[in-house]
Amino acid sequence: MKEIRIHARAGQGAITTATLLGKAYFHKGSYPYAFPHFGAARMGAPMNAFVRVDTKPVRLRSQIYQPDFLIIVDATLMRGFNCFSGLKDKGIAIINGGQNLELPKVGAQQKVYVMPANEIAMKNIGRPLGNTALLGGFCAATGELELDGLFEAIKARFSGKAQEANIASAKEGFEFVKSKIKKS
């Protein structure tokens, strides 16, 4: 079983992100369970979306406290709140942020990838919706999913120009993290 926790603000597309991730796993033949948890049900309020995935149907219905993977859609959520809480020893975090982002101290085997997902999205989509870029980064960072599987999920969700733009965004996100891994 693998558990993924997404940190975002309501309205930033975290549920779409979880859905796309789940769908990519579904196409792979796994059994994902994607679900949201809202705090205050208002735009901008911190919220979580989760994906729990297994080789058999997922029965566990609780939230995720010890994720294998973290996706932080909005780095401002790291101020005053420990988004890394419970991250597994060999856990991987993908964060939407700039090079100067202050990071908490992480475990020796934990990996953190900071990527300019909003910039990538602005370039490809024309709006600061970094979700698909982050998912591309997720594929590269974790090796959990093939990029083609993610594309398939994006194709099922978006059509026309939005589809092309999101695929381009995901691809660029993937390449960004891949180049980081090569350098390190």
Stretch that binds other proteins, among 57-65, 101-109, 120-128, 141-149 (CB under 8 A): 57-65
Number of chain residues interacting with other proteins (CB under 8 A): 23
Q: Which of 57, 89, 99, 182 binds other proteins (CB under 8 A)?
A: 57
**Burial class of residue 175, CB neighbours in 10 A (0-12, 13-18, 19+):** middle
Residue 26 binds other proteins (CB under 8 A): yes
CB of 150 to other proteins, least distance (A): 14
CB of 2 to other proteins, least distance (A): 15
Between CA 147 and CA 137 the distance in angstroms is 10
Q: Of 105, 125, 109, 107, which is closest to residue 117 (Cα–Cα)?
A: 125
Radius of gyration for the alpha carbons in the chain, expressed in angstroms and rounded: 15
**Closer CB to other proteins, 24 or 168, in the complex:** 24
Amino acid residing at 184: S
Residue 13 binds other proteins (CB under 8 A): no
Q: Which of 43, 55, 59, 184 binds other proteins (CB under 8 A)?
A: 59
CB of 19 to other proteins, least distance (A): 6
Q: Which of 31, 149, 162, 180 binds other proteins (CB under 8 A)?
A: 31
**Burial class of residue 123, CB neighbours in 10 A (0-12, 13-18, 19+):** middle
Query: What pairs with residue 70 in β-bridges?
Result: 5, 93
CB of 61 to other proteins, least distance (A): 5
Count the residues in the chain: 184
**Closer CB to other proteins, 83 or 95, in the complex:** 83
Residue 41 binds other proteins (CB under 8 A): yes
The three-class DSSP label of residue 68 is coil
Q: Of 36, 35, 32, 37, which is closest to residue 1 (Cα–Cα)?
A: 32
Residues engaged in binding other proteins (CB under 8 A): 15, 18-19, 22-23, 26, 31-38, 41, 57-63, 65
